Amino acid sequence: MTDTPPIDRLIAIMARLRDPENGCPWDLEQTFRTILPYTLEEAYEVAEAVEREDMTALRDELGDLLLQVVFHARLAEEGGHFAFADVVESVCAKLIRRHPHVFGTLELADAATVLDHWERLKAAERAQTRVDEPGALAGVARTLPALVRAEKLQRRAARVGFDWDEPLAVLAKVEEELAECRATLTDQATPSERIHEIGDLLFACVNLARHLGVEAEQALRAANRRFEQRFAQVERGLREQGLEPSPETRDEMERQWTLAKATERRG
């Protein structure tokens, strides 16, 4: 088995784990739905390794994600639907089809033109295979993270001309939505009204990020990391004084937070 190509070895290991007589009891119990959370988790762990620029972790996480692909393909093969080789053939054909400027004679000037052509090809493919109601927004997966899905919906709408002309107009919309959120800070506002207005504000913020060339999901992930790092420094500063985070140490936490931000800027 050691002379077997690595991908074939992985496929064989997965088949062994799913062997009805001698396989792993846990692996044998799994279905597409039960392993889906692991698939999503592994994709996020790949993203985290990339953001940390940790190549060792990235190698391991890509392996874990590949395992998920092989697992899904094995389940599909057992059900008589398709095998791993079909998955590979499908993506190879798709890459060739969507890169006529590389594998054909089409000439595209730059990366932006390539991306626009790619999206047009995808739209044409969706139109040929669509089983749901046609429309510019059809086919955007509902299981995507909300920020990612918002950006994809906005990009789809923009391709048919439904978009703001420039970032300042979007910023004005953000300010408008913020004012509407402020209006819900009354006892008369219902929870559903607040959810509605916060959702509109977040959607407008994603739109602003898109117009500024920023991926909202990545920006928020980076903000989460900064918050974690700063708060960890706040806790260290408190411990050095024999204190703990609490409502009673709020003023000192604010002071330590300011110090953490200053340290971050210097770094």
Segment 169-202, tens digit of pLDDT:
999 999 999 999 999 999 999 999 999 999 999 9
> How far apart are alpha carbons 23 and 20 in whole angstroms?
6
> How far apart are alpha carbons 115 and 99 in whole angstroms?
10
pTM: 0.70
Tell me the per-residue pLDDT of 50-78, one tens digit each, with 9 for 90 and over: 988 999 999 999 999 999 999 999 999 99
- Residue 206: CB atoms within 10 A of its CB come to 27
Q: What is the pLDDT along the chain (267 residues), one digit of tens a residue?
A: 567 899 999 999 999 999 999 999 999 999 999 999 999 999 999 989 998 899 999 999 999 999 999 999 999 999 999 999 999 999 999 999 888 888 888 888 888 888 888 878 877 777 776 655 668 888 788 888 899 999 999 999 998 899 999 999 999 999 999 999 999 999 999 999 999 999 999 999 999 999 999 999 989 999 999 999 999 999 999 999 999 999 999 999 999 999 999 988 886
> How far apart are alpha carbons 152 and 138 in whole angstroms?
11
